[in-house]
Structures are given as structure tokens and as C-alpha cells.
Structure 1
Amino acid sequence: MSQEGYDKLVAELQRLESVERPKASAAIAEARDKGDLSENSEYDAAKEAQAHLEDKINKMKVSIAEAKIVDLSRLSTDAVQIMSKVEMTNMSTKAKMVYTIVSENEANLKQGKISIKTPIAQGLLNHKEGDIVEVEIPRGIIKLRIDKISIEA
């Protein structure tokens, strides 16, 4: 993943631990003060929300522990790889598309960032400019021509 993506993940983890976790504990305490826990749906909901939060925190900790930060200066534009910005043309519709291939945690379609695990990214990997690749997507097979490969710092 990029250094920027790693930094965002660490900041979000810190926010969850320092802001959201105390809020969840306070919600449980407030619900507990309302009496009989056996019939207290507010208490059950607060406990469930806390469990979801703790699960999210644990998953983020694993992602951070397993993260490998990509040194963008060492990447090549010879072939598509993680962190490549790929300009391509859909050969059947002639539609132009631009995607940057990123780690799963950094994927954001609105920003044009697709996960390396998506069918399109998998189909493009290791191909060069000018190559026409056939990519199997849920709706069938599409042909994409790789027009340009670059690295965005």
C-alpha cells in the first residue's frame, strides 16, 4: 500500500480507539443504568455496537501489521503493477477509463482507485502499453487496450 494509505489507516485506528471506543463504553453504561438488563434492548444494542467496533479495530490492526509500503520511486511503468495508473480503452464501446491499482484498503471507485483483487486489476497485471487484454467480469468478457501506464506520486 502507499504511505498515504498506511497513514490514513493508522489515523483511523487511533480515532476509533480514542473517540469511538469510549463512546461505546459510555453508551453501555448509560443503558445499564436504565435498569433490568434482561429486557433492556438499548443495552443489547450498545453491546452489539461495541462488538462491531472491536471487530473493526482488530481487523485494522491486522491490516496495519501486515501492510507493506510500496516505494513509488522504485516502481516501473514497463508493465501494470500495484500503484500503476492505467489509462485504457474498452475495445467494444470505445469508452476511455483510468484506474489506479491499489491495495484493498485504499480502493475507492469514486477516486478511480480499484483494488488489486478486482477482476479488471487482475486482468491488467503484468501487461504492457499497447496490449489488448481480455478480462472476465461478472457480466462477461471485456477487451481493454492499455493506452498508458504511469505512477502517481
Structure 2
Amino acid sequence: MDKIPMTVQGHKALSAEYDHRTQNERRRIIDAISEARAHGDLSENAEYSAAKEQQSLNEGRIQELESMLALADIIDVSKLSGSKVKFGATVTFLDEDTEEEKTYQVVGDPEADASAGRISISSPIARAMIGKEEGDSFEVAAPGGARSYEIVKIEYI
């Protein structure tokens, strides 16, 4: 399998979620199953079914987190520099149609969250930016047609 690039902060967040799910959620769900079992007939016990469903979802997410953490290629963005867009760059760019300025950090897939200013390195907009410098323009195919952007600033923070 390929390594999954991620920032130090992204790795810490996934590790914290893993710890929470294995140490807290798992215990809480086991307690809920035990309590539901005590109510008698399991075939018509909605609480038991709901707790088992929660357990299944939690264990699935734990396995997913274990896999991501095992394949993590942790990149310390503060040690990166350069004038071109690459993983970890915080890029400010201008929408050439609307004159709207946006700033995003290019991160790994597991930690991407556009509403928090982090886009995945495999997203179309990040792929279009990779290798570009300040002042360069790039186009991204969007559902409503191609959009043009100009890179205003590149930082590694």
C-alpha cells in the first residue's frame, strides 16, 4: 500500500480520535450493550440493536484509523520552504471571475476539511496548483464550467 501524506497536526488529530474511540467510546458502548441485555428479550430490544449498531460503526472507524495511522507519512510543514506549491503549502489565490480571494492549506486526504481551510492534495484544485508559483494562473474544471484562478501568495507555516 502507498503511504498517506499528512501534516503533524493531522496525525495528532487522528491519533486523538483513535485514543478516544478505543478508550472511551468502546467502554461506553459495551456498558450500553450490557444494560440493554439486562432488559430481557434481545429479539425485540431496540436499545440492544442500537448499541450493537454503534459498536459496529465504532469498530469500523477504529480499523480505518489504525490503517491510516500505520500508513502515515508525517510531513512537518514548518520545515518546508520554496516558491512552488507542494504538499503543506498554504496558498492564497484569487478567483479571476469574482475577484474573491481564498486561502487553503494543501494537506493529506484524511485531514482535508474545506470549511476549515484545508484541501486534499488529491482534490482537483490542489492538483491544478501543484508546481505553480506566485503570479501563475491555473484552471480547474468545475460542474458549471472551467474556473480560472491566480496564485497570490504561497507560505509554509
- Tell me which interval the TM-score lies in, with the shorter structure as reference length: over 0.9
The answer to whether residue 118 in structure 2 is matched with residue 113 in structure 1 is: yes
2:133 pairs with 1:141: no
The 8 Å contact of residues 77 and 89 in structure 2, kept in 1 or not, is answered as no
Aligned: 1:78 with 2:83: yes
Measured against aligned partners, the alpha-carbon deviations of 1:98-128 in whole angstroms (never above 9, x if no partner) come to 1111112222223311111222111111111
Q: Does 1:35 align with 2:40?
A: yes
| Secondary structure, aligned partner of 2:119 | strand
Task: Specify every segment of 5 or more residues in structure 1 that has no aligned partner in the other structure, as ranges.
Answer: none
Cα distance per residue 1:15-71 (max 9 Å; x no partner): 111100000111111111111111112111110110000001110111100110113
- Report the Cα distance in structure 2 between the residues aligned to 1:138 and 1:9, rounded to whole angstroms: 32
How many residues are matched? 152
Return the TM-score normalized by structure 2: 0.90
CA RMSD of aligned residues (A): 1.3
> Contact 1:134 / 1:143 at 8 angstroms: preserved in 2?
yes
Q: Which amino acid in structure 2 is aligned with residue 109 of structure 1?
A: A
For residue 67 of structure 2, what is the amino acid of its counterpart? V
2:89 partner amino acid: S
Contact 2:105 2:119 in 1 (8 A): yes
Q: 132, 139, 143: which one pairs with 2:137?
A: 132
Q: Is 1:50 aligned to residue 55 of structure 2?
A: yes
Is 1:60 aligned with 2:65? yes
TM-score, with structure 1 as normaliser = 0.93
Shift of the alpha carbon at 1:2? 1.4
Corresponding residue SS for 2:28: helix
Question: What is the SS of the residue equivalent to 1:81?
Answer: coil
Determine the C-alpha separation between the residues in 1 that align with 2:67 and 2:20: 16
Percent of paired sites with the same residue: 38
Query: Which aligned runs of 4 or more in structure 1 are off by greater than 3 angstroms?
Result: none
Name the SS of the counterpart of 1:69 in structure 2: strand
The equivalent of 2:28 in structure 1 is 23
